A = this chain, B = another copy of it.
Amino acid sequence: MSTLESRLHTAVGKVREHWRGTRFIDGLEPGVEGTEALLELARLYRAYKLEIGRLGLLKGRAVAGLFFDPSLRTHTSMEAATGRCGAQFIHLKAGQGGTWTMEFEDGVVMNGAAQEHVREAAPVLSSYADVLAVRAFPHHPADRDEKVIRAFGRYAMGPVMNLESALSHPCQGLADGLTLADLGGGSFKGRKVCLTWAPHPRQLPQAVPLSVVRAAIMGGADLHLACPEGYDLDEEEMERATSFCPYTGAKLTVTRDPDAAADGALAVYAKGWGSAMSLEEHTARVATLGNWTVGTERMRNATAFMHCLPVRRNVIVTDAVLDGPKSRVIPQAANREPVQAALLLTWLL
């Protein structure tokens, strides 16, 4: 066994000391120390990506990625991580002529459009693939119960990874934790992090902002969350996330003032998200909130700009910020691959 291989085994062992779970749904599952160990493993992968690619560590293993929604970064980074670890990635597109229409309710007489129940689909996919990765993000709040990812979590036989649901995008959160730690020189404990709502024509789900909150809290940040009235994040999920504050030293400040939140921050993380309003109300409201677009002025005393991408230029953030020296959006997106590889290695090595 090569030195690199044995270092990987050691790093995987560290994760498993703290976390032996097989579900990564909201991202809180590995706990504070498990998350730190995952990030450490991700750093090792990132540093030796090409060498690891030649080891074929997970040869003979398969990861099935089931997409109910479109994807660029998530699909590509999952497939790249899987392949570089030596396993095969099976890309499945649900609906739209790709696979069957699926049923998620129990006790239904299936004489309508749905052709396959998740009670069969999940274990069958598990019998071919060692890990199931699922993306399904129907609009919050309509899908607050996240029936798709929860059903796969319940009926799959092997590990299940959430590639974005209504309330969680945990791989994005893990990558964001890695990016914030990079900015902080290895850790962002005690550092000011700003998460700011930004204008977007659509009522987007809260999966990303909630995952950013969780990542920031798990890493012990001094988190300043800025959003306009009516756009507060899901109360129950915020409560669950902040319950970790005592264990990580994280602090949360919610404010209506994006300038105050951004001032002196290690990172200004912008994201558009929706509310309980109708689309018409949202559109009217957004039209009055142009000041929430992140520009150079707001970034003046902040170190870095972050966004999960895809980003609407000159709506969420100006070209000047995005193309300027403070933007970290490309390395932030690049961090998706190593954190996802870290999960696969934890489960399959």
Which residues on A are within 8 Å of B, measured CB to CB?
49-54, 56, 59-62, 64, 70-73, 75-77, 79-80, 83-84, 88-93, 96-100, 103, 106-112, 115-117, 119-121, 123-125, 127-129, 201, 309-315, 319, 322-323, 329-331, 333-334, 336-337
Contacts and interface: CB of A to CB of B under 8 A. Distances in A.
10 contacts: A53-B59, A56-B59, A76-B124, A76-B125, A84-B88, A110-B314, A115-B312, A120-B309, A120-B329, A121-B310
A70 to B, nearest CB: 5
B80 A129 contact: yes
Contacts of A100: 70, 72, 310
A62 B83 contact: yes
A80 B310 contact: no
B92 A83 contact: no
Contact of A127 (B70, B88, B116, B333): B333
Chain A residues touching B, majority SS: mixed
A76 B64 contact: yes
A330 B129 contact: no
Contacts of A115: 310, 312
Contacts of A109: 313-315
A103 B116 CA distance: 32
Contacts of A128: 76-77, 80, 334, 336-337
A91 B52 CA distance: 22
A106 B318 CA distance: 12
Contact of A330 (B56, B59, B123, B329): B123
A70 B116 CA distance: 12
A123 B314 CA distance: 19
A62 B80 contact: yes
Given A80-B62, A120-B309, A120-B329, A108 B314 contact: yes
Nearest to A110: B312
A54 B59 contact: yes
Contacts of A333: 120, 124, 127
